[in-house]
Structure 1
Amino acid sequence: MTLFKTALNAFCILSLAIISFSSNANPPKEIFWEDLIPKGHVQIDTQAQANHEGSDQNWVQPDLDAPVVKELNGQSVSLPGFVVPLEGDSEVITEFLLVPYFGACIHVPPPPPNQLVHVTIKGGVPIESLYDAIVVTGIITTETWSGELAQVGYKMKAVGVAPFEL
């Protein structure tokens, strides 16, 4: 890892901590993927249905009408996941999909829209490996977004990205 990337990672983590403590008396709400599914909604398990044989049906996004949790709209949250880059360069990305498992939207059919978050981060953030889980902190909204890879049920303006640690 270059010295620049190390310094930028440290800056992002420090900025996240400062923003969390100084601008909010309450830290961001830690949420997980099941929190993005309304209580009582029976979710389709796309991972169980996936195969890697390349059939056209395998790449169709299921359950496009999957409902979102409206109470999350406008909340400051932290959500772990994996990155599917959309915009950026070799140093930083400024726009990406946050997905619940590695390979979602790339190697298997996309999850339902309520299991995808379209993330933008001003100034961008370095992502060293798409295989590594991260935690994104920011303001989540229940706005939809559509791109070539999938239809998305949530958007987030990120203020910080950090490595996911158990």
Structure 2
Amino acid sequence: MTLAARFAFAAACALALAVAGCERGSGGAPSEAPLEISWPDLLPESERETLAAMRAGQAGQSELREYSASAREHQAGSFRVVEALDGRYVRMPGFLLPLDVAQRGQAREFLLLPYHGACVHYPAPPPNQIVYVTSQEPIRFDGLWDPVWIEGVIEIQRMSTELAESAYAMEVSAVEPYAP
């Protein structure tokens, strides 16, 4: 095989892998074990420090102003994200808030939220603490505020709903009741 033929073959293989969705390397294949993450993992380091300062009542005025700048009056926070998570197959806990109820107790669109009552009884969390979740098949939910584990490929994608904005999105591949 000539050098030109080898190069053409290698280029064709690389293109085929990219078209098949394999260009993300170790990050996205559902056949891999998911990376287990928690809510702080969705925040860049600078956001973690600001949230900790706000909770401790030690944030300066400029930090508070910057952190609370948002497109929605009721939703404080930012769209800053962790780029390294983009395209990763992850597993994370949270609470599903259905956005479209196809049938009673089933939906295909949800917000995955870090705490019970977010967006309904309490203000929306920051956009970088909300994951917009979709499913090809309706997901059955018995209790609206029952915690779950969710698996899927997480993407950095701004989404806007009537309840809140999110900085992440996910096509779900598995949902199961939460068990520590």
Q: Same fold (TM over 0.5)?
A: yes
* Structure 2 unaligned regions, length at least 5: 1-28, 58-72
For residue 23 of structure 1, report the CA deviation from its aligned partner: 5.0
Q: Which residue of 1 aligns with 2:167?
A: 153
- Following TM superposition, by how much is the alpha carbon of 1:91 offset from its aligned partner in structure 2, in angstroms? 3.7
- Which of 26, 30, 45 aligns to 1:39? It is 45
Tell me: CA distance 1:110–1:71, structure 2 relative to 1, closer, same or farther (3 Å): same
Question: Is 1:74 equivalent to 2:113 in the alignment?
Answer: no
Counterpart check, 1:124 vs 2:138: yes
Q: Larger helix proportion, structure 1 or 2?
A: 2
Which residue number corresponds to residue 100 of structure 2? 87
RMSD after superposition: 2.2
Give the percent of matched residue pairs that are identical in Structure 1 and Structure 2: 37
1:100 correspondence with 2:114 = yes
Q: For the structure 1 residues 82 and 127, does the alpha-carbon distance in structure 2 shift closer, same or farther, using more than 3 Å as the test?
A: same
| TM-score w.r.t. length of structure 1 | 0.74
Cα 1:157–1:23 shift into 2, 3 Å: closer
Distance between the aligned counterparts of 1:115 and 1:146, measured in 2? 13
Question: How far did residue 110 of structure 1 move?
Answer: 0.4
After TM superposition, give the deviation of residue 83 of structure 1 in Å: 1.2
Shift of 1:44: 3.6
Residue identity matched to 1:128: D
Gaps of 5+ in 1: 1-21, 50-58
CA distance in 2, matches of 1:138, 1:145: 17
- How far apart in 1 are the matches of 2:130 and 2:56? 17
